[in-house]
Amino acid sequence: MTRKLLGAILLAAVALIGVPGAAQPARADANDDAFIAALKADGIDHESVQAAIAAGRLVCHQLDMGKSQDEIATDVMNSSGLDAEHSGYFVAVAERAYCPRYADIPS
């Protein structure tokens, strides 16, 4: 996939974050549970657990493709309605949950 396509997927998935809403279906694993709990603890609401998880996992894929943490946080901010602080937090929480190898790398 190209970076442009990955960016579009991230934008679509993250667009659902910040919109409180529908019933929350069961999550798949402990990493997903920790990710969603961390978002909730920081006041980040989401319409769909699956969309939030997909966006979180996509953060790791974009990092694997060479995109910087700051670039991803900016994408999240521009597509979600989250402010800069919450967008950066979203990226950091995704890293801790899904790709801890990136969690200690400065942006």
- Count of structural domains within the chain: 1
* DSSP structure class, residue 42: T
pTM over 0.75: no
The tens digit of pLDDT for each residue in 62-73 reads 999 999 999 999
pLDDT at 30: 94
| Residue 14 pLDDT > 70 | no
Q: Per the domain annotation, does 65 fall within a domain?
A: yes
Q: Per the domain annotation, does 19 fall within a domain?
A: no
**Which structural domain, as residue segments, surrounds residue 56?**
48-100
Q: Per the domain annotation, does 7 fall within a domain?
A: no
Q: Per the domain annotation, does 2 fall within a domain?
A: no
Q: Give the residue from 90, 81, 103 showing the smallest Cα distance to 39.
A: 90
CA distance 107 to 105: 6
Q: Per the domain annotation, does 54 fall within a domain?
A: yes
Q: Per the domain annotation, does 71 fall within a domain?
A: yes
Q: Per the domain annotation, does 58 fall within a domain?
A: yes
Q: Per the domain annotation, does 32 fall within a domain?
A: no
CA distance 103 to 10: 19
pLDDT at 28: 63
